[in-house]
Homo-oligomer: A and B are copies of this chain.
Amino acid sequence: MAPRKAVDQELSREAIIDVAHQLFVDQGFQAVSMRMIARELGYSHGAIYYHFKNKADLFYAMIEQDFAMINQELAQLDKLELSREEKLKELLLGFIRFGLTYPNHYEVMFIMNDKELQHYATNAPEQSYQQFAQAVAALTNQQIEIKKIWSVFLMLHGFVAHYCRIGHSFQEVEELAMSHVDMILGMIYMG
């Protein structure tokens, strides 16, 4: 009935996640079907069920990767040879850069709004935010209120969310991003 493909063309968890990612971001969880993913991959839909238990399972595996990535990027900031001010600026700009470099990831992590999945994808964002907040606090010598850090995050989020939506790259909006970040920094340092 059905030929099995050669070993060098075997389907992998990663390949599925990659394709699923693009589709989920483009169209949302509900709108993307297992069949669509399979079609895009050039495989039958049944094949996906060999690698993932079900649709939700695939989805969770997908965003798990994403959060690991941003956490790692946040952690790497400490190692830079920069002043506190420069590090802070790099932190804020880096958040934007991450969001626009991996818009698919960012959208799934912080923008996408699906009732079914939100329950599962609520812990990881919180954890990433905590890491961000701690970095900001450290880089401002704990002089900044908790509430303010949260506002800063939302200000960055607004920038990223908007340009994610209209599909601009970081390069295209780099100048605007810098000016946005400068405004935020001004606000942080002026109390």
Asked if A53 CB lies within 8 Å of chain B CBs, one says no
Distance, CA A157 to CA B165, complexed state (A): 12
- Tell which of A154, A190, A191 has the most Cβ of chain B within 10 Å: A154
**Cross-interface CB contact of A156 among B114, B158, B180, B190, cutoff 8 Å:** B158
Say yes or no: is A123 at the interface (Cβ < 8 Å to chain B). no
The stretch that binds B, out of A13-21, A24-32, A67-75, A134-142, is: A24-32
Q: What is the total number of residues of chain A having a CB less than 8 Å from a CB of chain B? A: 38
Q: List CB contacts (< 8 Å) of A107-146 with chain B.
A: 107, 110-111, 113-115, 118, 122
Q: Which B residues lie within 8 Å of A115 (CB)?
A: 26-28, 31
Is A55 at the interface (CB under 8 A from chain B)? no
10 A/B residue pairs, CB under 8 Å, sorted by A: A28-B114, A28-B115, A30-B30, A31-B114, A31-B115, A113-B164, A148-B183, A151-B180, A154-B155, A154-B180
Taking beta carbons and an 8 Å cutoff, which residues of A are in contact with B? 26-28, 30-31, 107, 110-111, 113-115, 118, 122, 147-148, 150-151, 153-159, 161-162, 164-166, 176, 179-180, 183-184, 186-187, 190-191
